[in-house]
Amino acid sequence: MVASRVPSTSRDQQESCIFCRIARGEETNKILYEDESFVAFHDINPAASQHILLITKAHIPSLYSLLPTAEDIKLVKDMVAIGNELLSGTDPTQRKFGFHYPPFNSVMHIHLHCFELPHTWWGKHKYTETERPWAGYMTAQQLLDRLQTAAAQQAQPRTAHE
């Protein structure tokens, strides 16, 4: 469960984080979805015909804070499942989910971008799916693949010559 995560940032950083303030109800954003672990709202600078942000209530600074554990893999899968629910009235082939990672994220708090395509002109450049590490954006599936691959590698028994 997300709430059990040990905070990796100071109380001051969490107090000043805009997404933490939204999750606590201290901002005036229209909340589209909320449960014990997540909050969703429209992006203030939409990059697609529909652009929703899904954030964790617990302050997780970035993708670099995620570990290749069953808990964090489930976190990402849960985020994508909620994103699909939020876009349920749209064509599934026109949905896209992804994350920015430092230094390319504008808020140091993990957030899933949930898109109904097409992208705006800027959005198609800013949210391009690529394997290039300098691009700053990865799809939710790319993140899941990386976490699951790392988890599988950690689970393999070491041989005597390693």
| φ, ψ (nearest 5 deg) of residue 142 | -60, -45
* 113 is an active site residue: yes
What confidence score (pLDDT) does residue 121 get? 81
List the one residue out of 54, 52, 51 whose CA is nearest residue 37. Answer: 54
Going by C-alpha positions, the residue among 79, 60, 68, 70 that lies closest to residue 147 is 68
Catalytic residue among 59, 100, 113, 119: 113
pLDDT in tens, the chain (162 residues): 343 444 455 666 677 899 999 999 999 889 999 999 999 999 999 999 999 999 999 999 999 999 999 999 999 999 999 999 999 999 999 999 999 888 888 899 999 999 999 888 888 778 877 666 556 889 999 999 999 999 999 887 766 665
Architecture in CATH of 7-150: 2-Layer Sandwich (3.30)
> Hey, what are 23's tokens?
């999750």
| Predicted model pTM | 0.86
